Amino acid sequence: MRMKSTGLGKTELVGKLENVNLMEDHLIFSVRTSEPVKWHIRVAIDNKDIKMVFGQLIKLKILKYLLLSLNNKRELKPPANY
């Protein structure tokens, strides 16, 4: 997983999704970054966010990518500007 933030300038964080937990009314996504710093990032997603994410995931283009990526074992390059 690669992440960028406008607060970090052009810095790109590399990490992995570690866990997803249900806490009260939110899904908590835990991401552990490894480069260039070692951080533990948590994202709390509520029902409004879940509806938006689910709506995006069922788009044909996204769904096709998700299904095809299950068998993809090669390392993918991130897009130039994301």
Residue 81 has a pLDDT of: 80
> 21 and 27 in contact (C-beta within 8 Å)?
yes
Name the residue type at position 32: R
Task: Decide if 82 is inside a domain.
Answer: no
Residue 71 has a pLDDT of: 83
Residue 30 has a pLDDT of: 97
37 Cβ contact list (under 8 Å, min separation 6): 13
**Total structural domains within the chain:** 1
> How many angstroms separate the CA atoms of 1 and 40, rounded?
13
- pLDDT tens for 6-53 read 999 989 999 999 999 999 999 999 999 999 999 999 999 999 999 999
Residue 49 has a pLDDT of: 94
pLDDT of 3 > 80? The answer is yes
Find the domain containing 6 and state its range: 2-69
Largest CA distance in the chain: 37
Task: Decide if 79 is inside a domain.
Answer: no
Task: Decide if 75 is inside a domain.
Answer: no
Task: Decide if 61 is inside a domain.
Answer: yes
- As a whole number, mean pLDDT of residues 40-69 equals 92
Task: Decide if 80 is inside a domain.
Answer: no
Residue 40 has a pLDDT of: 97
